[in-house]
Amino acid sequence: MSSAYEMLWAEKYRPKTLDEIVDQEEIVARLKKFVEEKNVPHMLFAGPPGTGKTTAALALAHDLYGENYRQYLLELNASDERGIDVIRTKVKEFARSRTPPNVPFKIVLLDEADNMTADAQQALRRLMELYSATTRFILIANFPSKIIEPIQSRCAYFRFKPLPKDKVVERLMYICKNEGVQCEKEALEEIYELSEGDMRKAINILQAAAALGKVTVDAVYKAIGYAHPAEIREVITKALNGNFMEASKHLRKLMLEYGLSGVDVIKSIHKEIMSNNLKIDDRLRVLIADYAGEVQFRMTEGADDEIQLQAFLAKLALLGPRFKSA
């Protein structure tokens, strides 16, 4: 940590070229072939978070276009762009811009494509066809099944697997060495367990722990607190105890102070409900999961995420005490 400028490690240690990617060998081999032939099909990268999908796409662009690859790559995030119209305008503009010198096409990288509605995906499919002469699309998704058939069939499909423990630990170890940070091996293993094969998350936890000094198991446990599952759990527990008012006050704090979107919150809630940390009746788990799903759907249709979550908490406050007394 000697230079004045520091970076976030997840970005600093993101492999720049296909050669630097240590895992996902088969995928890398296929991508290298595309680079060699300077011919890339539309592609669908699917897999859990933090397994190298975005990294592979960026590295591919780097290897195709060289250092200045950024001007031949349009990066979009489906969950940030307001609707397919914005995406259409941006793609149209991009397709008109300068073409790269040695490669006959540019690349549109569309992250979180599985967050698009089926209608938006249909529009996307038409876009892909319209500009196929000059652009290639790389779609990134956590759940490929949420991508409509006609798009899937137009894409070369790459499935990213969760990274194995030894690869993650090895990478964390390398980062520590490079940064001059002392670390315990058990601490790195603990990070792996907590991040469930999500490399970005693992590196984030590592950096938070390193900010405390030495990367020890204790530091890791302290560092994991930077995200909010603990607070989410509190909201759920309060609601399940029948205390709707307290739970909803806490929820408002989470949303306003941390700026979490409704979908973020319901996803975290869902994760929390499925985890073993929450000791509840499995039959209750089923009921809650069903309603959480309904609420998440209503948020995509509704106007005010908070009211949907409050309705969810009201349901918990109704069901929780019943299962407790039973």
Partner 1 sequence: MKKSIPWIIKYRPKRVEDVVNQEKAKELLIPWIKKWLSGNPPEKKGALLWGPPGVGKTSLVEAICNEYNLEKIELNASDFRRKKDIERIALVAATKRPLPPKKGRIVLLDEVDGLSPRGDEGAISAILELLEKARNPIIMTANDPWGQHLRPIRERVLMVEFKRIPKTKALPYLMKICESEGIYCEKQALAYIWEKNKGDLRACINDMQAIAEAYGKITLDLAKALVVERDRTLTPWEMLQHLFYAKYFWQAKKAVTSTDLDYDTLFLWIAENVPKQYGDDPEDLWRAMEALSRADVYYGRIKRRMNWSLLPYYFEMLGPGVALAKEKYHKRARWSYPEKITLLAKTKEQRRIREELATLLSLTQHVSKSYAKAEIIPLLKFIAQHNPQYFARLALGLRLTDEMIKFLAGKEYRTVIRIKEKLLKEMEEEAKIRAAREAKEYLERKALEVVEEEKVEKWEEKKEEKAEKVEKREKKERKREERRGGLTLLDFLNKKK
Closer residue to partner 1, CB minimum distance, 39 or 275: 275
Query: Does residue 180 belong to the site contacting partner 1 (CB under 8 A)?
Result: no
252 counts as binding partner 1 under rule CB under 8 A: yes
Residue type, 242: G
Q: Which is nearer to partner 1, 103 or 311 (CB)?
A: 311
Interacting residue with partner 1 among 29, 86, 212, 274 (CB under 8 A)? 212
- Find out whether 55 is annotated in a ligand binding site: no
The radius of gyration of the chain's CA atoms, rounded to the nearest angstrom, is: 22
Q: Is 300 annotated as a binding residue?
A: no
Helix axes 305-325, 262-274, angle to 10 degrees: 20
By CB under 8 A, tell whether 160 contacts partner 1: no
- Residue 104 CB, shortest distance to partner 1, in Å, is 25
What's the rounded Cα separation, in Å, for the pair 163 and 48?
A: 10
Residue 51 counted as an annotated binding residue: yes
How many Å apart are CA 78 and CA 87, to the nearest integer?
8
How far is Cα of residue 78 from the mean position of the Cα atoms in its chain?
Answer: 12
Size of the site for partner 1 (CB under 8 A): 59
CB 244, min distance to partner 1, A: 6
Residues within window 39-78 making contact with partner 1, judged by CB under 8 A: 54, 58, 75, 77
Which residues make Cβ contacts (< 8 Å) with residue 185, sequence separation at least 6? 169, 173
Residues 200 and 187: their CA atoms lie apart, in Å, by: 16
d(CA 214, CA 20): 27
For residue 49, say whether it is annotated as part of any ligand binding site. yes
DSSP H or E segment with residue 169:
helix 165-179
CB nearer to partner 1: pick between 132 and 202: 202
Task: Cite the DSSP H helix spans in 180-304.
Answer: 185-195, 199-210, 217-223, 229-240, 244-257, 262-274, 282-301
Closest to partner 1 by CB, 99 vs 241, is: 241
User: Is residue 204 near partner 1 by the rule CB under 8 A?
Assistant: yes
Sign of CA dihedral 8, 9, 15, 16: positive
Q: Which of residues 257-316 bind partner 1 (CB under 8 A)?
A: 257-261, 263-264, 268, 295, 298, 301-304, 306-308, 310-311, 314-315
C-alpha closest to that of 152 among 119, 115, 113: 113
CB of 92 to partner 1, least distance (A): 21
Site for partner 1 in 111-140 (CB under 8 A): 111-112
For residue 98, with 0-12 CB atoms within 10 Å meaning exposed, 13-18 middle and 19 or more buried, which class applies? exposed
The 6-25 site mask, x for binding partner 1 (CB under 8 A), equals xxx-xx--x-----------
Contacts to partner 1 by CB under 8 A: 1, 3-8, 10-11, 14, 54, 58, 75, 77, 79-80, 111-112, 201, 204, 207-208, 211-212, 223, 225-228, 242, 244-245, 248, 252, 256-261, 263-264, 268, 295, 298, 301-304, 306-308, 310-311, 314-315, 317-318, 321
Binding site residues for ATP, as ranges?
A: 47-54
